[in-house]
Amino acid sequence: MEQWRNGVQQNNLEYWIDGTMDSSLPSSTPIRQFSSTPIPSCLHHSRFFLPPLLHSYNLIVKKDDLFKFIATIGPLGYSPVAPGTVGSVLSCLIYILFRPDVLLLSIIIPIGFIAGVLVSDRTERLLNEKDSSHIVVDELVGYLVSVFLIPFSIPNAVLAFLLFRAFDIVKPTPIRQLERRIPGGLGIMIDDILAGVYANLVLRLILVISKG
């Protein structure tokens, strides 16, 4: 019995697991079963190679964890009460504290939307739950849409928050229809973007009426 670890011999695909060579294992053996012990330098010899998954497994796990962290905004998405509202509150507070100008928002919103689609799509599959309530990055980006090109003031920021949450919950036409028809991360993000657009338009109307 050979005592190398984590290796695969190139010519007969023999797998080493936990220090014991075992050629009976199929190539589909779950990568989690491989020992985490550092690979000896001798395995870097041309006679040996590592399956791509063995090299990339840790990176995949870290990538999934990162995607999930962004999609849920860390622990906020696991709030026992109204995680969507919690995510919106965070976005509102960030807006009030940092007061991003129009140029910065015009950069943040599209980047946030694209990133949100990617991380939401992956996280939805990881959680095995369609449009999971734990995913709140959509609320964070959607709120920023509601204040885009709106004159900054704390009352305006708070009113935008209330309008955004109302439209996000009620989901007037065509928000609900699009949410149901568009799958994955795009469907998760698009309803909150549209809720932000509705909130933005209504807030503009309120500001015009209040000035008149």
Amino acid making up residue 39: I
* Distance from C-alpha of 147 to C-alpha of 24, rounded to nearest angstrom: 62
Query: Pick the residue with more confidence: 183 or 51?
Result: 183
Mean pLDDT for the stretch of residues 149-171:
96
Classify strands 20-22 and 15-17 as parallel, antiparallel or unpaired. Answer: antiparallel
Q: 157 and 70 in one domain?
A: yes
* Ramachandran assignment for 74, one of left (phi > 0), alpha (psi -120 to 50 degrees), beta (any other): left
| pLDDT confidence tier of residue 92, bands split at 50, 70 and 90 | very high
Q: At what angle do helices 137-146 and 83-98 cross, to 10 degrees?
A: 50
Q: Which residues, at least 6 apart from 142, have a Cβ–Cβ distance to it below 8 Å?
A: 88, 91, 164, 168, 189, 192, 193, 195, 196
Q: 27 and 112 in one domain?
A: no
Q: 191 and 110 in one domain?
A: yes
Give a yes or no: residue 77 inside a domain.
Answer: yes
Give a yes or no: residue 22 inside a domain.
Answer: yes
* Distance from C-alpha of 101 to C-alpha of 144, rounded to nearest angstrom: 11
Q: Tally Cβ neighbours within 10 Å of residue 172.
A: 11
Give a yes or no: residue 1 inside a domain.
Answer: no
Q: How many residues does the chain have?
A: 212
- pLDDT above 70 covers a percentage of the chain that reads 71
Tokens of 39: 């690979």
Q: 168 and 126 in one domain?
A: yes
Q: 200 and 101 in one domain?
A: yes
Tokens of 53: 């998954």
Q: Is the pLDDT assigned to residue 161 strictly greater than 50?
A: yes
Number of domains in the chain: 2
Q: 172 and 70 in one domain?
A: yes
Give the Cα-Cα-Cα angle 90, 178, 85 (nearest 5 degrees).
Answer: 20
Mean pLDDT for the stretch of residues 103-123:
97
Mean pLDDT for the stretch of residues 126-130:
90
Query: Pick the residue with more confidence: 22 or 175?
Result: 175
Q: pTM for this one?
A: 0.72
Give a yes or no: residue 26 inside a domain.
Answer: yes
Residue 76, domain extent: 58-211
Q: 67 and 43 in one domain?
A: no
Contacts by 63-70, CB closer than 8 A, 24 or more apart: 64/122, 64/126, 67/118, 67/119, 67/122, 67/123, 67/126, 68/119, 68/122, 68/123, 68/126, 68/127, 70/115, 70/119, 70/137
What pLDDT is attached to residue 100? 96
Q: 188 and 141 in one domain?
A: yes
Q: Tally Cβ neighbours within 10 Å of residue 124.
A: 21
Q: 83 and 32 in one domain?
A: no
The tens digit of pLDDT for each residue in 26-76 reads 444 443 443 444 444 544 443 444 455 445 556 666 889 999 999 999 999
Q: 145 and 64 in one domain?
A: yes
Give a yes or no: residue 3 inside a domain.
Answer: no
Q: 140 and 114 in one domain?
A: yes
Give a yes or no: residue 2 inside a domain.
Answer: no
